A and B are shown apart, each in its own frame.
Chain A
Amino acid sequence: MRALVLAAALALVATLAPAVQPDEVLADPALESRAREISQGLRCLVCRNENIDDSNAELARDLRLLVRERLTAGDSDTEVVDFITDRYGEYVLLKPTTGGANWLLWGAGPLMLVLGLGIGALFVRRRSQGAASREDALSPEEEQRLQALLKE
């Protein structure tokens, strides 16, 4: 039984390849670093939110090899990415495009910042101009409460 488990284990271990393998690495370091850069922006389609550079999946390895193949063939970085996006759809891009409704995604932060700073500035301005005497006076309820407390 134990031998069987061990055999099964070894068989499985042998098929699992974690991330970039030595045999994938390109001889040209400049090309290889470009390949790594591109890989980090591409999603492994069968994984959950992993890029192909980190992924252990077989498909990710295929994609890594494809990226390197295109690079060696002389494609530019954008050409490689376009090539892969044409085949697998924009789902493969970890950095979404700015096209179409995606402007909302990219614009959300800056727009919210402008809005937040605007509201914040208005609030601070009002605070700084507010008539100090009126603000420091007690409200009617507080006046009542004070009277009640004094009576006790």
Chain B
Amino acid sequence: MLAELGHFTLILAFAVSLVQATVPLIGAHRRAPGWMAVAEPAANAQFLLVAFSFGALTYAFVTSDFSLSLVTANSHSLKPMLYKVTGVWGNHEGSMLLWVLIVTLFGAAVSWFGGNLPATLKARVLAVQSMIGAAFLAFLLFTSNPFLRLAVPPMDGQDLNPLLQDPGLAFHPPFLYLGYVGLSMSFSFAVAALIEGRVDAAWGRWVRPWTLAAWIFLTIGIALGSWWAYYELGWGGFWFWDPVENASFMPWLVAAALLHSAIVVEKRESLKAWTVLLAIVAFGFSLIGAFITRSGIITSVHAFANDPERGVFLLLILAVFMGGALILFAVRAEAMSSRGVFSMVSRESGLVLNNVLLCVAAFVVFVGTIWPLVAELAFDRKLSVGAPFFNLAFTPFMVALGLVLPFGAMLPWKRARLGRVSRTLVPGAVLALAVLALAWAIQSGRTVLGPFGMALGAWLVAGAAVDLWSRSGRGGDRFGRLRRLPRADWGKAVAHAGLGVAMIGISAMLAWQQEDIRVVQIGDSVELAGYTITLDAVNRVEGPNYISTTGAVTLSRNGHEIGQLRPEKRFYPVARMPTTEAAIDNGFLRDIYVVIGDPQDGGGWAMRSYYKPLANWIWGGTILMALGGALSLSDRRFRVAAGSRKTVAEGVPAE
């Protein structure tokens, strides 16, 4: 019954979305307040209806209602409660419902926080957002109904893919979708501004928090996914350049570019047309991501069940939204002539360079991802494009970005002198070179990648610190002034430093990882990078819905025990699938990563041990990046702007 209600509210939401997509748009065109006012209650109604539907599906999963075919296919009565809930989005239909829920959530959020938007712009934004909602609701209702019943419900379900039964991956999709779909907000603002025919500093200020929020969520989502891959897939890789990973990485890169170009619009009223174009393209990459993940046209490790019909529908959505927005852009581009004048060396030109590098990097990832498809269709060649290509073709752009970033971040607006900025950055450069020399001296005869990456990361971190310090003025209470700097300044420095920290982690791990693969008898030890890893015992343990082979491993150094590790091999009988659960001793400077393998014919167990230097810095860096974004989002100018109109509306005299 509840499931039918959920289905019904979904249909209602579709009807509401059609109204919201048209009436406010006409209202804004005719300047009819009543018509425009439809948008806000409609956005709230749409959100509540979809939320109810989502709740109904969650309830079905929680109560293991196996009369729903989706629950049968993706759940099991013995599954822990957490994974019953997260199982809702561990499949195509449910994840699409989550996607739609977030589209409507963002629409509703505009009506909650958009108090300071001009009425026509708000009506148009909500209408465009609702068009996106309508498209995906139609997709859900016509091709991927999550509420299909089974005529004969089975006694129990087929269980969720065991790889997904993991805390890291349980929350990976919601964050990722908040990011993907958050970019729909920037898209809606861009299209609304094009319809409006006005892009100005105020628009830049309104669109930036939404983009920033989307980017933060994407950052967290990607980090969770990579962290999961690190500990779950059993050899400690953290990024595979898989098409689905790339699908989330491209919008991240473009959103990062958009984030920076929107600053130029906000502060200097320049780069307007480019920023609008970026906002459109960023959401385009989100849609391409959805298409890649769900159409099965590019196979990958974690694609959902694939279906050509769905692929065609998604391609249609992509074509309509991108085509429509780009045509509108071409027609209205003239209205967005840039105004600000700036010299060749200035913050503006620095941000242009940032945008070029980020966009070209995203383009390289895009070409690499679709090349196998292009080669097969156009040149009749079946080939692969994998990690070695991306490492070679993508990394230079990030290195270039890292090299110029501290300069760009410190250049003043309009007119700058490179010499002055360079002099301020000398301590940063000295530190980076010292790190380079130190790393070079410690390592023996390996790639230059490690020391160079460390130096680049140090350069970024030091650059961010120098930037903050130089903003604290001269003499007197510098620390006090430092503390009172706008949150946006802190956010910028923290995010940039986070990039540096992540670069340090990545290059250290790639350059200095050590591994040991061998057969270990019970009681035997492995020596690795100064640590002693002893296999004490191997036990069979029964979990709630799996059987586990658990190794008892002692980690010690110089005879002192550091920790006990419990690497597992699990087998999920219902899904008939094994998983490896690596045991990791996390440390600030290194991870020790142990995986238990198979029993060997001659006795003993295969065991793999890894020494991974600075592994946690990778995720520490991404957390810093997200934190920097959040700091910037909480800046006073966004909060004050949000409340300022209320005082005007209530007739309080301005100060």
A residues bordering B, Cβ < 8 Å? 5-6, 8-9, 12-14, 16-23, 25, 40-41, 43, 47-51, 54, 89-96, 100-102, 104-106, 108-109, 112-113, 116-117, 120, 123-125, 127-128, 130, 132, 135-136
A18-B234, A127-B341 given; A90·B383 CB < 8 A = yes
| Neighbouring B residues of A51 by C-beta, 8 Å | 386-387
List, sorted by A's number, 18 A–B pairs whose CB atoms are closer than 8 Å: A12-B576, A17-B597, A22-B600, A41-B388, A43-B384, A48-B242, A49-B242, A54-B235, A89-B382, A92-B384, A96-B383, A101-B378, A105-B367, A105-B375, A109-B394, A116-B359, A120-B353, A128-B343
- B519 at the binding interface (Cβ < 8 Å): yes
| Neighbouring B residues of A90 by C-beta, 8 Å | 381-384
- B379 at the binding interface (Cβ < 8 Å): yes
Partner of A124, one of B352, B387, B599: B352
**What band does the interface of chain B fall in when counting residues whose beta carbon is under 8 Å from A?**
35 or more
Q: Are A105's CB and B363's CB within 8 A?
A: no
Q: What is the CA–CA distance of A13 and B547 in the complex, to the nearest angstrom? A: 10
| Neighbouring B residues of A127 by C-beta, 8 Å | 270, 338, 340-342, 348
Q: Are B384's CB and A93's CB within 8 A?
A: yes
Q: Are B517's CB and A21's CB within 8 A?
A: yes
Q: What is the CA–CA distance of A67 and B629 in the complex, to the nearest angstrom? A: 47
Q: What is the CA–CA distance of A43 and B389 in the complex, to the nearest angstrom? A: 13
Q: Are A50's CB and B301's CB within 8 A?
A: yes
Q: What is the CA–CA distance of A9 and B360 in the complex, to the nearest angstrom? A: 48
Q: Are A108's CB and B363's CB within 8 A?
A: yes
- B580 at the binding interface (Cβ < 8 Å): yes
Question: In angstroms, how far is the closest chain A Cβ from the Cβ of B512?
Answer: 14
| Neighbouring B residues of A104 by C-beta, 8 Å | 367
| Neighbouring B residues of A8 by C-beta, 8 Å | 573, 576
Q: Are B384's CB and A94's CB within 8 A?
A: yes
Q: Are B299's CB and A49's CB within 8 A?
A: yes
Nearest-neighbor residue (CB-CB) of B573 within chain A? A5
A6-B547, A105-B371 given; A22·B517 CB < 8 A = yes
Q: What is the CA–CA distance of A112 and B339 in the complex, to the nearest angstrom? A: 26
Question: In angstroms, how far is the closest chain A Cβ from the Cβ of B328?
Answer: 19
A92-B384, A94-B389, A127-B342 given; A48·B571 CB < 8 A = no
Partner of A116, one of B233, B303, B360, B600: B360
Q: What is the CA–CA distance of A5 and B575 in the complex, to the nearest angstrom? A: 12
Interface 0/1 of B362-386, CB less than 8 Å to A: 0110011001000100110111111
Q: Are A95's CB and B383's CB within 8 A?
A: no
Q: With A6-B547, A13-B598, A94-B386 given, name 19 new contacts (CB 8 A).
A: A14-B598, A17-B597, A18-B595, A19-B608, A43-B386, A54-B235, A94-B388, A94-B389, A95-B386, A95-B389, A95-B392, A102-B375, A105-B371, A112-B363, A112-B364, A116-B356, A116-B360, A120-B355, A135-B340
Can you list the 10 inter-chain pairs with the closest CB atoms, starting with the nearest? A94-B386, A95-B388, A116-B356, A109-B364, A108-B367, A9-B571, A22-B519, A124-B349, A5-B573, A91-B382
Nearest-neighbor residue (CB-CB) of B301 within chain A? A48
Q: What is the CA–CA distance of A94 and B270 in the complex, to the nearest angstrom? A: 42
- B549 at the binding interface (Cβ < 8 Å): yes
A-B contact number at CB 8 A: 166
Nearest-neighbor residue (CB-CB) of B599 within chain A? A14
Q: What is the CA–CA distance of A23 and B518 in the complex, to the nearest angstrom? A: 8
Partner of A9, one of B342, B393, B573, B580: B573
Question: In angstroms, how far is the closest chain A Cβ from the Cβ of B75?
Answer: 19
Question: In angstroms, how far is the closest chain B Cβ from the Cβ of A84?
Answer: 13
- B300 at the binding interface (Cβ < 8 Å): yes
Question: In angstroms, how far is the closest chain B Cβ from the Cβ of A31?
Answer: 15
Question: In angstroms, how far is the closest chain B Cβ from the Cβ of A27?
Answer: 12
Q: What is the CA–CA distance of A116 and B360 in the complex, to the nearest angstrom? A: 8
Q: What is the CA–CA distance of A94 and B357 in the complex, to the nearest angstrom? A: 25
Q: Are B379's CB and A112's CB within 8 A?
A: no
Q: Are B517's CB and A49's CB within 8 A?
A: no
- B59 at the binding interface (Cβ < 8 Å): no
Question: In angstroms, how far is the closest chain B Cβ from the Cβ of A107?
Answer: 10
| Neighbouring B residues of A123 by C-beta, 8 Å | 352
| Neighbouring A residues of B363 by C-beta, 8 Å | 108-109, 112
Question: In angstroms, how far is the closest chain B Cβ from the Cβ of A2?
Answer: 9
| Neighbouring A residues of B234 by C-beta, 8 Å | 18-19
Q: What is the CA–CA distance of A100 and B378 in the complex, to the nearest angstrom? A: 12
Partner of B578, one of A12, A43, A106: A12
Q: Are A113's CB and B385's CB within 8 A?
A: no
Partner of B342, one of A13, A101, A128: A128
| Chain B 470-525 interface residues, beta-carbon cutoff 8 Å to A | 517-519
Question: In angstroms, how far is the closest chain B Cβ from the Cβ of A37?
Answer: 10
- B620 at the binding interface (Cβ < 8 Å): no
Interface 0/1 of B573-609, CB less than 8 Å to A: 1001010100000000000000101111000001010
Q: What is the CA–CA distance of A132 and B341 in the complex, to the nearest angstrom? A: 7
Q: What is the CA–CA distance of A135 and B268 in the complex, to the nearest angstrom? A: 13
Q: What is the CA–CA distance of A127 and B349 in the complex, to the nearest angstrom? A: 10
Nearest-neighbor residue (CB-CB) of B606 within chain A? A22
Question: In angstroms, how far is the closest chain A Cβ from the Cβ of B546?
Answer: 9
Partner of A101, one of B349, B379, B580: B379
| Neighbouring A residues of B573 by C-beta, 8 Å | 5, 8-9
Q: What is the CA–CA distance of A119 and B381 in the complex, to the nearest angstrom? A: 34
Q: Are A109's CB and B300's CB within 8 A?
A: no
| Neighbouring B residues of A89 by C-beta, 8 Å | 382
Question: In angstroms, how far is the closest chain B Cβ from the Cβ of A96?
Answer: 5
Q: Which of A104, A109, A116 is most buried by chain B, counting CB atoms within 10 A of its CB?
A: A109
Nearest-neighbor residue (CB-CB) of B237 within chain A? A54
Nearest-neighbor residue (CB-CB) of A47 within chain B? B301
Q: What is the CA–CA distance of A21 and B517 in the complex, to the nearest angstrom? A: 7
Q: What is the CA–CA distance of A93 and B382 in the complex, to the nearest angstrom? A: 10
Nearest-neighbor residue (CB-CB) of A118 within chain B? B356
